[in-house]
Structure 1
Amino acid sequence: MKEILREIGMIARALDSISNVEFKEIELTKGQYLYLVRIGENPGIIQEKLAEMIKVDRTTAARAIKQLEMKGFIERKDDDRNKKIKKLYLTEKGEELFPIIKRENEHSNQVALAGLSEHDAEALFDLLQKVRKNVEVDWEFVKKGNKRTY
C-alpha cells in the first residue's frame, strides 16, 4: 500500500515550517497562527471546541491561547449566560493579522494544488475529509485514555 499518511505528514510539516518562518516577524510561533485564524473564523469559540477543531489536547491549546493572549492577539470574554464560560475573540491587533494569515493560506492552497484540475482538487478534498473522519474516530478513542489494538 502507498504511504499516503507519510505524504500527508510531509506536506503538513513543510507548510507548518514555512508558516513558522514567515510569521516569525509578526510574533507568531509554533503553529499559533492556526489558533488565531480559527478564532477569527469563529468569534466567541470556547477553548475546548478550538482544541477539538485543531486536533490538539486541552493542555496544548491552553498554552497556545495563553501565549496569544499575553501577546495581545486574542482576548477572553465572559459568556452572557454563564460566567464560567470564557469565549475567545481576536483583539484589534489580532484582527490586523487575520487577513495576512488568510492570504498565506490561500497562497499555500494555490501552490499545493498547482497542476490539479478543479475536479481533481474537489476529489482530493472529498477523499481527505473521509480520511480525517476515519482518523477522528481513533483520535476520540485515544483522547479518552483508551489504547488502540493493532
Structure 2
Amino acid sequence: MKEILREIGMIARALDSISNIEFKELELTKGQYLYLVRICENPGIIQEKLAEMIKVDRTTAARAIQKLEQQGLIEKKNDGINKKNKGLFPTDKGEQIYPFLKREGDHSNQVALSGLSTDEIETVFNLLQKIRKNVEVDWNHVKKGNKREY
C-alpha cells in the first residue's frame, strides 16, 4: 500500500515549518497563525468550534488562544445569548496581520498545486476531503477516550 499519510504529513510539516519561519517577525509560532486566520474568517466563533475546525484538543486550543489574546491579536466577547460562550474576535492588530497570512496561504496553495490541471486539483480536493472524513471518525472516537482496534 502507498504511504499516502506519510506524504500528507511531510507536506504539512514542510508548510508549517515555512510558516513558522515567515511569521517569526509577527511572533506567531507553532500553528498560532491557523487560529488567527480561522478567527478572522469566522468572527465570533467559540473556542470549542475552533478546536474542532483545526482538529486539536481543547487544551491545545486554549493555550494558543491565550497567547493570541496576550499578544493583542484576538479578544473574547460574551455571547449575547449564552453567557457561558465567549466569541473569539480579531482585534484591529489581528485584522491588520490577516491579509499577510492570507497571501501566504494562497501562495502556498498555488505552489503546492502548480503543474496540476483544474480537473486534477478538483480530484485531489475531493479525495482529501474523503480521507479527512474517514480520519475524523477515528479522531472523534479517540477524542472521547476510546481506543482504536488495529
**Does TM, normalized by the shorter one, top 0.5?**
yes
Match of 1:146 in 2: 146
Q: Find out whether 1:111 has 2:111 as its counterpart.
A: yes
Deviation of 1:82 after TM superposition, in Å, equals 1.9
Q: For 1:78-97, list aligned pairs within 5 A.
A: 78-97=78-97
TM-score normalised by L of structure 2: 0.99
Deviation of 1:84 after TM superposition, in Å, equals 1.6
**Per-residue displacement from partner, 1:11-34 (whole Å, max 9, x unpaired)?**
000000000000000111110000
Q: For 1:26-41, list aligned pairs within 5 A.
A: 26-41=26-41
1:75 is paired with a residue whose SS is: strand
Match of 2:3 in 1: 3
Q: Percent identity?
A: 76
Match of 1:66 in 2: 66
Distance 2:12 2:52 in 1: 18
Amino acid at match of 2:118: E
TM-score normalised by L of structure 1: 0.99
**Per-residue displacement from partner, 1:83-132 (whole Å, max 9, x unpaired)?**
22100000000000111000000000010001100110010000000000
Output the aligned Cα RMSD. Answer: 0.4
Number of matched residues? Answer: 150
Deviation of 1:139 after TM superposition, in Å, equals 0.1
Distance 1:143 1:9 in 2: 20
In the TM superposition, structure 1's runs of 4+ consecutive aligned residues that sit over 6 Å from their partners are: none
Distance 2:26 2:8 in 1: 27
List gaps (5 residues or longer) in structure 2.
none
Deviation of 1:49 after TM superposition, in Å, equals 0.2
Match of 1:47 in 2: 47
Match of 1:77 in 2: 77
